[in-house]
A and B are shown apart, each in its own frame.
Chain A
């Protein structure tokens, strides 16, 4: 009697598992009715992706021909569109609008490379595909910083740090630096507010460690903290980097994450390709 109940129970569990798996099996596109976002995307035949270019995750192609972007975020976004059987449409955004646009419903996903911060986790879910940390650069002949040795040394009166408003250093910097002056500036399209440094309106500016080699190659006369090659191993504001979706649709997020898990080797390979190409 007990054995037959056990068999019946096991059969019921197995059946339930099969039904659940057939309804949504990992990276299979969830069935209609499970994710309002996916239903909406399929209905319109277009995946709206908010984007702003950023090296090395989503560099914009400015040659005038070919794909609009490249990089790991682009590979992943195209994979999502392909699996959904829809067209990928880019909604251009600024640093200030790359997350708020999700709440306005004008984009299904923000593929702009985003550092995952506690504040952002309150309003969005992330699909993490990379990591990042910060370095700080300034003019090598700036008397205020040229003799300093570490990031800690930068935290002193008289030093001004410029950052793009809407980027994570805006909330992180006040907790890391107590004495230096912070100055938010509008995003210029560059990886960092280089113009603030070149025009001497600020002494230092944060930059993603992966973007520093490219900047130092293109703009001579800069120095970086942590000094020299140590920048690449910086642990300042070490964060995950990913793309964001609205918090409301957890099925959509789970599917995006499952697809990423399947193609992550391809995504990582693309990031390495971009970094090597500089």
Chain B
């Protein structure tokens, strides 16, 4: 019978780490999606100048390793702006900024995938441009984006572990502390893997099932 005491005697400590993982994942998904939707929509409908400016942000984020973005946000950014922030805040900002770029491209691809005729038909019926986007283009585009956005959600949860490098007390970092005290590498890291799987697998499957149900609504 394996000895689970390193985990069982520290369950509160690890549970609190899990709550930090969920907290930074949810917030970075929320902010990342917000950034992505705004940037993606503006790149699609905002004209050439806006597209170029925001394209620079997207390409910059896609060119930088997430680890570098996090370390820069935690160490360099406070020196530039003149105020310090906690590692958790820096982690959320870094993860959101990075995720936002990928969401923006997904949103842009989703919006442009809806045939131009749909927009033209809406305008011909007397709808304003904003109304046409809101009522005709976006509902179809959102469904088409769903599988890609679902994948980005699971990436965001998994990538929250990268925040351990700037000492955010999330699941990976706190597991390392437990390993440091108990030297039970196999047990602790295997448990860690199972926990990440238990969080991410339902998200991936859930989005997939939802997409299958509503996929027909996205076709035009």
> Interface of chain A, helix or strand or loop or mixed?
loop
User: Which of chain B's residues 9-25 have a Cβ closer than 8 Å to chain A?
Assistant: 9-16
CB contacts (< 8 Å) of A191 on chain B: these are 180
Among A52, A55, A61, A63, the residue within 8 A (CB) of B167 is A52
Q: Pick the contact of A91: B14, B86, B173, B178 (CB < 8 A).
A: B86
Contact of A97 with B13 in the complex, beta carbons under 8 Å = no
> Shortest Cβ distance from B81 into chain A, in angstroms?
12
Interface string of A235-257 (1 = CB under 8 A from B): 00000000000000000000000
The answer on a CB contact under 8 Å between B78 and A64 is: no
**B10 and A62 contacting across the interface, CB-CB below 8 Å:** yes
Residues in A whose Cβ lies below 8 Å from that of B183: 190, 194, 215, 218-219
* Interface membership of A26, Cβ < 8 A: no
Residues of A near B177 (CB, < 8 A) are: 53, 60, 62, 189
The answer on a CB contact under 8 Å between A63 and B12 is: yes
The CA-CA distance from A53 to B167 in the complex, in Å, is 12
Partner of A64, one of B16, B87, B168: B16
A198 to B180: give the CA distance in the assembly, Å. 14
B190: which A residues are within 8 A, CB to CB? none
Q: Is the CB of A53 within 8 A of B10?
A: no
Interface: A100 (CB within 8 A): yes
Per-residue contact bits, chain B 137-169, to A (CB 8 Å; 1 contact, 0 not): 000000000000000000000000000011111
Shortest distance from the beta carbon of B78 to any chain A beta carbon, whole Å: 6
Nearest Cβ distance between residue B15 and chain A, in whole angstroms? 7
> Would you call B166 and A94 a contact (CB within 8 A)?
yes
Query: Using Cβ atoms and an 8 Å threshold, which residues of chain B touch A190?
Result: 176, 179-181, 183
Closest chain B CB from A6 CB (angstroms):
54
Please state if B84 and A64 are interface contacts (CB–CB under 8 Å).
no
Residues of A within 8 A of B179 (CB): 188-190, 195
Most buried by A among B12, B13, B166, B181: B181
How distant is A82 from chain B, measured CB to nearest CB, in Å?
Answer: 23
Do B79 and A64 touch across chains, with their CB atoms under 8 A apart?
no
**Interface residue from B10, B167, B176 paired with A93 (Cβ < 8 Å):** B167
Residues from chain A with Cβ under 8 Å of B185 in the complex: 195, 198
In the bound complex, how far is the Cα of B90 from the Cα of A91, in angstroms? Answer: 12
> Could you say which of A60, A100, A106, A195 contacts B84, with CB atoms under 8 Å apart?
A106
What is the CA–CA distance of A97 and B86 in the complex, to the nearest angstrom?
13
A227 CA to B178 CA in the complex, in Å?
Answer: 28
Q: Are B78 and A97 in contact (CB under 8 A)?
A: no
Judge whether A5 is part of the interface by a CB distance below 8 angstroms: no
Q: Is A104 an interface residue (CB 8 A)?
A: yes
- In the complex, which residues of chain A have a beta carbon less than 8 angstroms from the beta carbon of B75? 97, 100-101, 104
Residue of A with least CB distance to B12: A64
Give me 4 other A-B pairs in contact (C-beta within 8 A), A92-B169, A92-B173 excluded.
A92-B167, A93-B167, A104-B84, A190-B181
